[in-house]
Structure 1
């Protein structure tokens, strides 16, 4: 999935390949640290972002991708700068708190790539 990784002033840009498409995603240093805190790999975070089970609207034009993981969900909070998806933060709360059951998509990263 990850085919390239490069340093950016705000974090790291990952170039991923999925379904014959290449997509670049910026993970901020904050998001990378939060992923470590929640014992999530970068691959798990990117998978939740690219293949979410639902996406809801957040504050200030942001989106939140949900990906179920046992009794929890991976929540990936992201926004766009130009056409570049920027992951602001990530965390792993209990599923019943936020997950609506899947299928609702306010946004999809992959078609934008």
Structure 2
């Protein structure tokens, strides 16, 4: 995985990420960037959670939630699509036993 292009936009930070011979266009909203900073995570951590999740479940209003376990905790990346762009809405950490569904995939960004 390699970030090929990065630019700030009115909505947040736009990235073009080269991953497994695919170019993925991702916008991190300002809110998601604040949440990432609050949890002391890096953008690379969140990209790994988003692009290589252990499961993805459907959320509200055509959104998806990518899950990745962190011991007894669960990293949750909430995203949606706007055309070809993946829009990361927010990120937070919860407990595994509250949300993890044993590897269900309702969406995959990388095909």
TM-score higher than 0.5: yes
- 1:16-31 aligned at under 5 Å gives the runs 16-31=17-32
1:86 aligns with 2:93: no
Give how far 1:69 is off: 1.3
CA distance in 2, matches of 1:70, 1:2: 27
1:96 has 2:97 as partner = yes
Q: Which runs of 4+ in 1 moved over 3 A?
A: none
Q: 1:17-67 deviations in whole A, cap 9, x for unaligned?
A: 111211110000000000111111111111111111100000001000001
- CA distance in structure 1 between the aligned counterparts of 2:100 and 2:72, rounded to whole angstroms: 10
* Count of residues in correspondence between the two structures: 110
Unaligned runs of 5+ residues in structure 2 are none
CA contact (8 A) 2:25 2:84 kept: no
Task: Calculate the TM-score normalised by the size of structure 1.
Answer: 0.92
| Root-mean-square deviation (Å) | 1.0
Cα distance between partner residues in 2 of 1:95 and 1:35: 19
User: What is aligned with 1:59?
Assistant: 60
Unaligned runs of 5+ residues in structure 1 are none
Query: How far apart, CA to CA, are the structure 2 residues paired with 1:73 and 1:16?
Result: 24
